[in-house]
Amino acid sequence: MKKIKILVDADIPFLRGALEPYADVTYAAGRDIRTATLRNADALLIRTRTRCDAALLSGSSVRFIATATIGVDHIDLEYCRQQGIAVYSAAGCNAAAVAQYVVCIWAAMAYKTGINVRDCVLGVVGVGHVGRRVAAAAQALGMTTLLNDPPREALETATAFVSLDELLTRADIVTMHVPLTPATRGMANATFFKKMKTGAAFINTSRGEVVDEEALLGYCACLRFLALDVWQREPAINRSLLKVVDIATPHIAGYSIQGKSNATTMTVRALAGFFGINALQSFTAATTAKEISLRAADIADDLYAYIFPIYPVLDDSARLHAHPQRFEQLRNSYTLRNEFQIL
């Protein structure tokens, strides 16, 4: 049987050697994947840095695209549908990692401002894979939690759902976990920020385009704390905004060992299912990572002391503040974190 041809983003971890017995595999940097590099590829395994649309795919023989990420806003789904190209994403793969990153932001905020998170009202905008975990962590730590997700509210009966207006006026911390859609693009705009409590904190780990950055710049003086992991026009991020962000990281909230392992595992299994490669349908990306357990009762009053040794987010922030021109390098060479669990 003729081997299928697969073009793979070289920065997808825990993958090299796994596909080679069953396919002709070519690796390339995500930003270097072009029409010419597709050759006669049957499948693409990518991350967010590869825009899959007609400009890239026209005339190719690609039948299957898998992104080892939770989002698909870098893929033209309608074009792929029209061309009969199957699309798969590793939805939920790094949800635990992103939620834990948010907990680390709370720890840094407590350290820098002296607040006790137990006294804070948390507003979670978007209650999907990540938002649910963020809410659970907040509740374990004793925080009052407000949820806003109209589509999910229509399907569920959780009493914590509130309108966006109520969330913004009551929350001491607002954290964004929505997918990028026409409805959410620019949703955090001037009106959004004006409704927030003066002295509240704002965190965005969803997509940079969810936030109107000029509106945020105009309001940031009213915020007590600002943390951004995602930005518009990455990697050429807004330097003016960077200067006023308390915690700034290069789109690495989901970069845990376990999260990356999950993404690669899910991606390979999806490929195996599509092409009928039976030997890969039980593939698991191997790691030596061990999850760390923390007791909520122990850590809530001094988050920073417990969290910083596991993940010193302030160090990542210092690096990006010092070298914004190295955004992509800092992201691609990032040392994956270990995950922790709050019991």
For 316-340, what is each residue's pLDDT tens digit? 999 999 999 999 999 989 999 999 9
Same domain, 174 and 311: yes
Whether residues 84 and 99 share a domain: the answer is no
pTM for the model stands at 0.90
109 lies in the same domain as 22: no
Query: Of 56, 89, 122, which one is at a domain's C-terminal end?
Result: 89
For the four alpha carbons of 12, 16, 22 and 23, in that order, the dihedral sign comes to positive
Average pLDDT over residues 169-192: 97
d(CA 252, CA 183): 24
Domain assignment present for 13: yes
Which residue's entry shows tokens 């991020």? 237
Look at residues 89, 114, 142 and tell me which one is the last residue of a structural domain.
89
Are 100 and 65 part of one and the same domain? no
For 325, residues 6+ apart whose C-beta sits below 8 A from its C-beta are none
Quote the pLDDT of residue 247.
98
- Does residue 9 form part of some domain? yes
**Are 168 and 208 in the same domain?**
yes
pLDDT at 1: 58
CA distance 71 to 47: 9
**Which one from 47, 132, 177, 207 is the annotated catalytic residue?**
207
Q: Does any domain span residue 151?
A: yes
Does the N-terminal peptide bond of residue 235 adopt cis geometry, omega within 30 degrees of 0? yes
Same domain, 67 and 15: yes
Backbone φ and ψ for 105, nearest 5 degrees, come out as: -65, -40
pLDDT at residue number 49? 87
Kindly state the average pLDDT of the residues 52-74.
94
Flag whether 21 is in a domain. Answer: yes
CATH number at residue 81: 3.40.50.720
Q: How far is CA 16 from CA 13, 210, 212, 219, 271, in A?
A: 8, 34, 39, 46, 15
Q: How many CA atoms lie within 13 A of 269 on its CB side?
A: 13
Q: For residue 306, is it within any domain?
A: yes
Is residue 135 a contact partner of residue 145, using CB atoms and an 8 Å limit? yes
| 272 falls within a domain | no
Does residue 74 carry a catalytic annotation?
A: no
DSSP code of residue 75: B
Q: Which amino acid is at 96?
A: A
Q: What is the pLDDT at residue 156? A: 81
pLDDT at 71 (0 to 100): 83
| Whether residues 230 and 326 fall in one domain | yes
Look at residue 158 and tell me whether its pLDDT is greater than 70.
Answer: no
234 is catalytic: yes
Number of domains in the chain: 2
| 239 DSSP β-pair partners | none
- What's the CA gap between 162 and 169, in Å, rounded? 11
- Does residue 265 form part of some domain? no
Pair (61, 167) in one structural domain:
no
- For the chain, helix, strand, coil in percent to 5 are 40, 20, 40
Verify whether residue 251 is a known catalytic residue: yes
Whether 25 and 120 share a structural domain: no
Q: Are residues 41 and 109 in the same domain?
A: no
- Largest CA-CA distance found in the chain, in angstroms, rounded: 65
Q: Is the pLDDT of residue 302 over 90?
A: no
Contact residues for 170 (Cβ-Cβ < 8 A; gap 6+):
121, 123, 146, 162, 197
pLDDT-based confidence at 286, cuts 50/70/90?
confident
Q: What is the dihedral of CA 68, 73, 74, 77, to 10 degrees?
A: 100
Q: Which whole number is the average pLDDT over 131-138?
A: 96
Catalytic residue among 153, 166, 214, 234: 234
Q: What sign has the CA pseudo-torsion 100, 101, 106, 110?
A: positive
d(CA 262, CA 227): 26
pLDDT at 290: 80
Half-sphere exposure of 15 (CA within 13 A, CB side): 26
User: Distance (Å, rounded) from C-alpha 31 to C-alpha 44?
Assistant: 13
pLDDT in tens, 191-219: 999 999 999 999 999 999 999 999 999 99
Same domain, 192 and 213: yes
Catalytic residue among 49, 133, 251, 269: 251
Domain that holds residue 80: 4-89
Structural domain includes residue 208? yes
Mean pLDDT, rounded, of the chain: 94
Please determine, for residue 147, whether its predicted confidence score (pLDDT) is greater than 70.
yes
Query: Could you read off the pLDDT of 83-129 as tens digits, one per residue?
Result: 999 999 999 999 999 999 999 999 999 999 999 999 999 999 999 99
**Out of 93-97, 140-144, 149-153, 156-160, least confident range:** 156-160
Answer with the one of 40, 56, 89 that is the final residue of a domain: 89
